[in-house]
Amino acid sequence: MGCMRWKVGKQKSSSSLAPLPPQAAPAIYHEQQRRELCALHALNNVFQDGTAFSRDTLQEISQRLSPSTMVTPHKKSMLGNGNYDVNVIMAALQTRGFEAVWWDKRRDVGCIQLSNVTGFILNVPSNMRWGPFRLPLKRQHWIGVREVGGLYYNLDSKLRSPQPVGTADELRKFLRQQLRGKNCELLLVVSEEVEAQQSWRTDG
């Protein structure tokens, strides 16, 4: 699995001024795509922790949700290669004291209290590939987005490196653009306390 911590940002200096002490750029954890494990990558990228969840954990959850079937409705791979659905993601988050809040696309994302949201997981259509070739087919893909060091980043596991989204306002623009697309869904990752108090929303 491609798991890297990227340093972002550069320290600017001027020859006419005394050099400023170097500021440490935030290290961003970013898992890259392996098999069909985009749900696993999205979870770990949102938590910024490669040990937050494992393939075995998600596999055990999917089997627990449907113990009587060999091929469960919560995963499309009987070999444990991934492609887990939203039920597995929600159950996985609950094992760590978090909840996934499904976002109603009829509402504007301006109603989200960003400071109370740990991260975002989007389910979006994505092109399928066969080796180096892009196929004229799409399937659903999970991606993680979260704030690191004061900026929001797109941590899609299919990207070679984290992609800056920007400030809170730019994040809202990004989410609006994604949600206008066909077959796109948004989950807010919040703590159990935030979900209980509904404090992920600004309109009460």
Catalytic residues: 38, 141, 156
Tokens linked to 44: 């770990």
Q: Which two tokens stand for residue 184?
A: 């796109």
Q: What is the number of alpha carbons within 13 Å of residue 148 lying toward its C-beta?
A: 27
Structural contact between residues 23 and 11, judged by C-beta atoms closer than 8 angstroms:
yes
Query: Among the residues of 48-191, which ranges form H helices?
Result: 55-65, 86-94, 168-180
Pair of tokens at residue 139: 């399937």
CB distance 107 to 98 below 8 Å: no
